[in-house]
């Protein structure tokens, strides 16, 4: 394996913590370690509680946090709170900007054309899955001189943690996972069949709390079918994009905010009722992928194992006609990605052909080693949320049963954003579970 180049840009201390900004040079393709191999930059920020002296901090064990996504940059903490406050008591935290995100070498509509044709861009993005993220982490660990570390994976970060356990378990002291036990085998279709059902149930639950919002949603949909409404980036708000407000349904901490958004929908104008600027601005922040295009480009590939995903959510939608944009009543969707995203979102439109090539790719490399997971010796604890609409409970428990020694805490008290709800409590509980299983 190649060595990572490493430089520190800056150190800062504020609001009870010290930070260090690290930049690492890593191969684009970890299988190509030749002297002329292409490299990219991966950024990570170190957080240490200021209550630790410099000497104490040097002796703290490391915790690598793997963010959700794909395409989500590492958290930017203004202060330590929630899970990070709990972790900083005992760890130096390394917050990774996974390749293509944040201050790492970017991958978006502005930079990807540097790769040439759509085929060249798709070939480049083949190196942006969990296997490459784990290989980056391994080079970073060695560059920092860390013999082994704890990793904490949230959502997609949990998928990456399972890849880490599959291919480099010797680097891991213990593993914590929240809302992120990936299915280890099977087509992406299985994932979407499960999640469509859970999203339907969550719709029913939400509208039982706010029955007036069902009519508001229908009114907005009727309005959009007859009256164009344009958002700040010049793109239209369509009924399909309106359904993307289902992103609110995935959390405990934000589900009620959907009600506050919908109550701002209409304003009176000389031309009659129109959608308010405030509503359109908030919706744009949800439906635009300008800040995380890799989410749309790579989302289904995280389930790709030796076969094409072939727009799985779009195909499975045919089995659930109640989610169609012309359905009455209208239902909100979850995290599914559809081909029309690349027609309606200006940030994605130049990448439509690239997305199609990734969806058609039928030789994705394995992301997990099931036999190695079955022989696992690393202490692992995972929070499984019973009603998670993004990572299905049944599929999660099937994975948990495959990983030797993995301890599950199943709870119905949280949804997918549990660590935003009680991150400190969840982290402490999982850490206690792995501590009790460590020899």
At residue 437, the pLDDT reads 64
At residue 73, the pLDDT reads 96
C-alpha count within 13 angstroms, C-beta hemisphere, residue 252: 17
**Residues that are catalytic:** 155, 363, 416
Joined together, the tokens standing for residue 374 give 């079955």
At residue 12, the pLDDT reads 97
The length of the chain is: 439
188-209 vs 211-226: helix crossing angle, rounded to 10: 110
- Rounded to 5°, the CA angle 302-163-97 comes to 70
Closest C-alpha to 152, from 373, 367, 418 = 418
CA distance 355 to 404: 36
Contacts of 172 (CB under 8 A, 6+ apart): 148, 149, 150, 151, 164, 165, 378
Backbone dihedral region for residue 69 (phi beyond 0: left; psi -120 to 50: alpha; all else: beta): left
Which phi and psi (to 5°) does residue 370 adopt?
-60, -40
At residue 1, the pLDDT reads 64
Note the maximum CA span of the chain: 72
Domains located in the chain, CATH noted: 5-184+368-436 (3.40.50.1820), 188-360 (no CATH)
Q: With the CA atoms of 13, 17, 18 and 23 taken in that order, what torsion angle do they form, in degrees rounded to the nearest 10?
A: -110
CA distance 109 to 98: 18
* 62-66, strands of its sheet edge to edge: 5-14, 17-27, 39-49, 92-97, 62-66, 149-154, 172-178, 380-385, 407-411
Other C-beta atoms closer than 10 Å to the C-beta of 54 total 8
At residue 139, the pLDDT reads 98
Joined together, the tokens standing for residue 439 give 């020899």
The pLDDT tens digits along the chain (439 residues) read: 678 899 999 999 999 999 999 999 999 999 998 889 999 999 999 999 999 999 999 999 999 999 999 999 999 999 999 999 999 999 999 999 999 999 999 999 999 999 999 999 999 999 999 999 999 999 999 999 999 999 999 999 999 999 999 999 999 999 999 999 999 998 999 999 999 999 999 999 999 999 999 999 999 999 999 999 999 999 999 999 999 999 999 988 899 999 999 999 999 999 999 999 999 999 999 999 999 999 999 999 999 988 999 999 999 999 999 999 999 999 999 889 999 999 999 999 999 999 999 999 999 999 999 999 999 999 999 999 999 999 999 999 999 999 999 999 999 999 999 999 999 999 999 999 999 765 3
The structure tokens 């020694």 sit at 405
């Amino acid at each position: 394996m190649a060595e990572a180049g490493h430089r520190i840009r800056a150190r800062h201390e504020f609001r009870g913590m010290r930070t260090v900004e690290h930049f690492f040079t890593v191969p684009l393709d970890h299988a190509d370690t030749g002297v002329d191999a292409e490299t990219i930059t991966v950024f990570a920020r170190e957080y240490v509680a200021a209550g630790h002296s410099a000497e104490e901090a040097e002796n703290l064990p490391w915790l690598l946090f793997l963010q959700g996504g794909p395409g989500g940059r590492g958290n930017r903490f203004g202060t330590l709170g929630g899970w990070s406050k709990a972790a900083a008591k005992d760890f130096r935290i390394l917050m990774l900007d996974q390749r293509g995100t944040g201050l790492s070498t970017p991958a978006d509509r502005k930079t990807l054309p540097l790769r040439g044709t759509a085929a060249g861009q798709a070939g480049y993005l083949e190196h942006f899955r969990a296997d490459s993220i784990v290989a980056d982490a391994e080079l970073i660990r060695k560059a920092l001189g860390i013999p082994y570390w704890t990793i904490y994976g949230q959502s997609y970060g949990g998928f990456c943690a399972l890849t880490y356990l599959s291919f480099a378990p010797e680097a891991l002291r213990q593993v914590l996972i929240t809302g992120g036990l990936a299915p280890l085998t099977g087509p992406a279709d299985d994932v979407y069949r499960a999640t469509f059902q859970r999203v339907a149930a969550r719709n029913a639950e939400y509208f039982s709390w706010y029955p007036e919002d069902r009519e508001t949603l229908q009114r907005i949909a009727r309005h959009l079918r007859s009256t164009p409404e344009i958002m700040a980036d010049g793109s239209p708000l369509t009924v399909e994009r309106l359904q993307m407000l289902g992103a609110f349904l995935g959390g405990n901490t934000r589900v009620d905010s959907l009600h506050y958004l919908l109550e701002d929908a209409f304003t009176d104008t000389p031309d009659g009722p129109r959608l308010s600027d405030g509503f359109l601005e908030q919706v744009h922040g949800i439906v635009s992928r300008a800040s995380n295009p890799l989410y749309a480009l790579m989302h289904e590939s995280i389930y790709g194992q030796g076969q094409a995903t072939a727009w799985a959510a779009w195909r499975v939608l045919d089995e659930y006609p109640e989610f169609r944009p012309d359905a009455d009543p209208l239902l909100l969707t979850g995290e599914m990605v559809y081909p029309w995203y690349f027609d309606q979102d200006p940030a994605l439109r130049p990448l439509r052909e690239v997305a199609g090539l990734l969806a058609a790719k039928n030789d994705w490399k394995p992301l997990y080693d099931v036999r190695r997971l079955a022989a696992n010796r690393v202490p692992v604890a995972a929070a499984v949320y019973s009603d998670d609409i993004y990572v299905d409970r049944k599929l999660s428990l099937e994975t948990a049963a495959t990983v030797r020694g993995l301890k599950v805490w199943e709870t119905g008290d949280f949804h997918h954003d549990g660590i935003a709800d009680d991150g400190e409590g969840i982290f402490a509980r999982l850490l206690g579970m792995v501590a009790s299983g460590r020899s």
